[in-house]
């Protein structure tokens, strides 16, 4: 029993002695210089940067700001008959006969209608085509037979996904052929 007590006391003395000695890691505030400046003290001024750019021939180019149209109107297509119109996503018209190109308007004219009401009111010149998700993403093209049937019908064709108009991206192979 005395040996266990002796071992316990020796271990306690050893751990207390180890705790008193400071750790030496080579990092920490004690290793840093006494008068250290903050990171902003090392930065060059605007004048110095301009001089350095001139010496190296790196004059900044002035780039004019080009406003990009990301408003609802710029991302939409207006289709109408002059009295009524509907706002659709840009790129949803997958076929438009030559005689109906004036039905795609640059800006809205007339009274705005809901898509479902507009479609019912204009079934004589507009129709829809349900497309798949790969066709929407531009991963698959609309079949040539379908395109021929669109031309034979003589109606404007709007791409829909689950009954709602949707933008259809052009597959990269078709884009390369047209360029």
pLDDT at 22: 61
pLDDT at 111: 95
pLDDT at 53: 85
pLDDT at 58: 82
pLDDT at 96: 94
Q: Fill in the DSSP letter of residue 130.
A: E
Query: How far is C-alpha 44 from the geometric centre of its chain's CA atoms?
Result: 36
pLDDT, one tens digit for every residue, the chain (179 residues)? 567 667 767 666 666 554 555 666 777 777 777 776 666 667 788 888 888 888 888 877 788 888 777 888 888 999 998 899 999 999 999 999 998 999 999 889 999 999 999 999 999 999 999 999 999 999 999 999 999 999 999 999 999 999 999 999 988 765 555 55
Strand partners, 156: 126
Rounded CA-CA distance 80/110 in Å is 8
Q: How many CB atoms lie within 10 A of CB 125?
A: 13
pLDDT at 20: 57
pLDDT at 13: 64
């Amino acid at each position: 029993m005395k040996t266990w007590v002796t071992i316990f006391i020796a271990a306690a003395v050893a751990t207390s002695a180890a705790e008193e000695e400071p750790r030496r890691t080579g990092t920490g505030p004690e290793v840093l210089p006494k008068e250290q400046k903050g990171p902003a003290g090392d930065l060059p001024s605007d004048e110095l940067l301009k001089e350095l750019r001139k010496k190296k021939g790196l004059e900044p180019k002035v780039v004019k700001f080009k406003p990009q149209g990301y408003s609802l109107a710029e991302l939409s297509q207006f289709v109408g008959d002059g009295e009524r119109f509907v706002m659709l996503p840009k790129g949803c018209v997958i076929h438009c006969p030559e005689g109906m190109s004036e039905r795609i308007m640059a800006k809205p004219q007339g009274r705005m209608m809901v898509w479902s009401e507009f479609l019912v009111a204009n079934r004589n010149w507009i129709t829809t085509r349900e497309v798949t998700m790969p066709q929407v993403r531009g991963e698959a093209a609309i079949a040539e037979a379908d395109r021929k049937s669109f031309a034979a019908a003589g109606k404007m064709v709007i791409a829909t996904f689950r009954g709602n108009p949707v933008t259809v991206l052009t597959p990269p192979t078709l884009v390369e052929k047209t360029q």
